[in-house]
Chains A and B, each alone.
Chain A
Amino acid sequence: MASSPYFSLAVLFVAALLFGLAPLGLAWMWARLFSPRKPNAIKNSIYECGLVSKGDAWVQFRSAYYLYAIIFLIFDVEAVFLLPFAVAFTGLGVAACVSMLIFVLMLVEGLAWAWAKGILTWA
């Protein structure tokens, strides 16, 4: 078994798992041993500015919110590509500039499409 080429990978995998779980376990044990437990009905109730909470905390968001978030994410990532391009701009040729332009235009087209679909209007 030790001769298997995957053995070292398995060891690493277990080590990685422990590396993540050990602090959590220690924290849990520490809390069990040392943290004082004084629960009561008021303490366990939902926190809402000191007022008695009304209704359920598990409310549904509109799906439009997620579309909005995805569009934001795309333009966020676009900035990551634009920054190195802008830094290296003076040393680049026409081809790089044109391809970057196409990339940005594709995103703009996507934005125009989303706009036309009415995703940006919050109704």
Chain B
Amino acid sequence: MAVEKELKIELGKQGIFVTTIEELYNWGRRSSVWPMQFGLACCAIEMIATTMARYDLARFGAEVFRPSPRQADLMIVSGTVTKKMAPQVVRLYNQMAEPKYVIAMGACAISGGPFKQGYNVLKGIDRYIPVDVHIPGCPPRPEALIQAFMTLQKKIDGQPLTGEGRPRYLDADAQCEFPVPEQGAHDLEPPSNRGVWPVEIQGRGSRD
């Protein structure tokens, strides 16, 4: 049975701490978001700066950058995703253990950015994997990355463990595999994962 918010605050004033399993669980998850240690382009430099002493990402429990996807909770897509690199990024995301989150950092990771008209640039990583937080900027400042972290923590805090809106991994029926695109003769195949990207993208193949 849930304790009402006002009552909880009142009890807190009296020195009695009331919590629920859900709150405790989410608090544990949001306070130890371990990002994966990899960078794709110039945004990675800002990401590295964020972890250093001046910006100090350790305040948010996220200073441990793990070099293995098995131990990471968060993928920061920091930089331009080329079509040559995209299958690797998607495969790494698949190899991370649940629960896992994605921050698309910078214009390139969101949409292709200044290289959008290039033949070899993926126009946004959210064509293949679900993104939780987008940060605009070219590159975004470390403060923006910290803001993204706090947004992600708020998102984790608000996730119920049961019922509608529960995270994907607590839903037995939810699909947790995100197909890795193949490198085809003209373009990536398929050009998007329809499970996460609602609009159909015509590949080069349909025009030949």
Interface residues of A, Cβ cutoff 8 Å to B: 36, 38, 40-43, 45, 47, 49-52
Cβ A42 vs Cβ B99 within 8 A: no
Question: Can you report 9 residue pairs joining A to B where beta carbons are below 8 Å apart?
Answer: A36-B99, A38-B176, A40-B94, A40-B177, A42-B180, A43-B94, A43-B177, A49-B92, A50-B91
Cβ A36 vs Cβ B70 within 8 A: no
Residues of B within 8 Å of A45, CB to CB, are: 95
Interface residues of B, Cβ cutoff 8 Å to A: 68-70, 87-89, 91-92, 94-95, 97-99, 169-170, 176-177, 180
CA distance A43 to B169 in the complex (A): 14
With contacts A40-B177, A42-B177, A42-B180 taken as known, whether A47 is within 8 angstroms of B94 at the C-beta atoms is: no
Q: Give the one of B68, B87, B91, B169 with max A CB within 10 A.
A: B91
Tell me the number of A-to-B contacts counted with CB atoms below 8 Å.
36
Residues of B within 8 Å of A50, CB to CB, are: 87-89, 91-92, 95
With contacts A36-B169, A36-B170, A38-B176 taken as known, whether A43 is within 8 angstroms of B88 at the C-beta atoms is: no
Residues of A within 8 Å of B98, CB to CB, are: 36, 38
Cβ B177 vs Cβ A47 within 8 A: no
- 11 more contacts with CB within 8 A, not counting A38-B98, A43-B177, A50-B92, are A36-B169, A40-B94, A42-B94, A42-B180, A45-B95, A47-B68, A47-B69, A49-B92, A50-B88, A50-B89, A50-B91
Cβ B88 vs Cβ A47 within 8 A: no
Distance to closest chain A CB from B15 (angstroms): 30
Cβ B95 vs Cβ A43 within 8 A: yes
Residues of A within 8 Å of B89, CB to CB, are: 50
Residues of B within 8 Å of A41, CB to CB, are: 177
Distance to closest chain A CB from B80 (angstroms): 16
With contacts A38-B176, A40-B176, A42-B177 taken as known, whether A47 is within 8 angstroms of B95 at the C-beta atoms is: yes
Cβ B88 vs Cβ A49 within 8 A: yes
A47 closest partner in B (C-beta): B95
